[in-house]
Amino acid sequence: MKRVLATLAGIGTAIILIFSGEGLSGRLFPMPDAAGNKEALAKAMSLMPIGFFIFLLVNYAIAAFLAAWVATRISGKETITPVVIIAILLTAGGLLNLSEIPHPLWFSCCNIPEYALMAGLGYWAAKKSK
């Protein structure tokens, strides 16, 4: 039961951080309204500054790191299973996002591995902390 709660807490942490970061990115880097129109969305994404994409990458990295850290601390540092589940779910969500919304290739190449890498670092940091 402790592992399930740890996993849910980690996922909840990630969701809160990702949605908060995406909300903030919309304020920092306003995008033209392109709701429901894939061509307009593709055009709007192609016009976004590099800072927008870097902000998203940093946001996703922090979310994966803290989600894994929280899950590891709650699970008692005895297993990596909650972290693996979190990394898989975040990667799947990232892949879905990349398939639905056009992003630059360099962003996709950085985004796909970042969830597992940062979750691993979050696990390691939680295991090392007292």
pLDDT mean values, one per 10 residues, the chain (130 residues): 92 97 92 75 88 97 98 88 97 95 94 97 90
pLDDT at 50: 95
pLDDT at 34: 64
Q: What single-letter amino acid sits at 76? A: G
pLDDT at 35: 64
Please choose, from the candidates 81, 73, 67, 65, the residue with its C-alpha nearest in 3D space to the C-alpha of residue 117. 65
For residue 48, what are its two tokens?
């976004």
pLDDT at 16: 98
